[in-house]
Amino acid sequence: MTRFTRRRLFGGFLLGTGAAIVAVPALAQIQAEVFVPMAPPPPRRELIPVLPPERVEIERWQPGYWRWNGHEHVWVEGHYVARPRPRAEWIPGRWEQRPRGWVYVDGHWN
């Protein structure tokens, strides 16, 4: 392998420095748990808009939730989002009480 090819392969990093190169997938995310000292308020009641029939199979409602902004809980309104694949369903996020406080567990597609 030529030096030019190595540079290109590793995005311009020079080899031979003794440093370890660790590949991390672009989609990998490290999320630190944020412990909140108080429970969130009860979820708000939301009026869910009716979708036109042609959008029912391609979109799903993601309900609103309480987000912690570092000082207080702030309501994030629910909204419709496109499904990532047919028949995918949204599993809403939730707050869990743990020994160090409350933690929000993100919602996800199943």
Quick: pLDDT tens for 2-43: 454 444 444 443 334 333 344 445 455 566 788 999 999 999
8 Å CB contact between 91 and 108: yes
Which residues on neighbouring strands pair with residue 36, listed in sequence order? 102
pTM of the model: 0.68
* CA nearest to 100, candidates 40, 34, 41: 34
* Spatial distance between the Cα atoms of 59 and 47, rounded to a whole number of angstroms: 17
Residue 109 φ/ψ, nearest 5 degrees: -90, 140
8 Å CB contact between 109 and 61: no
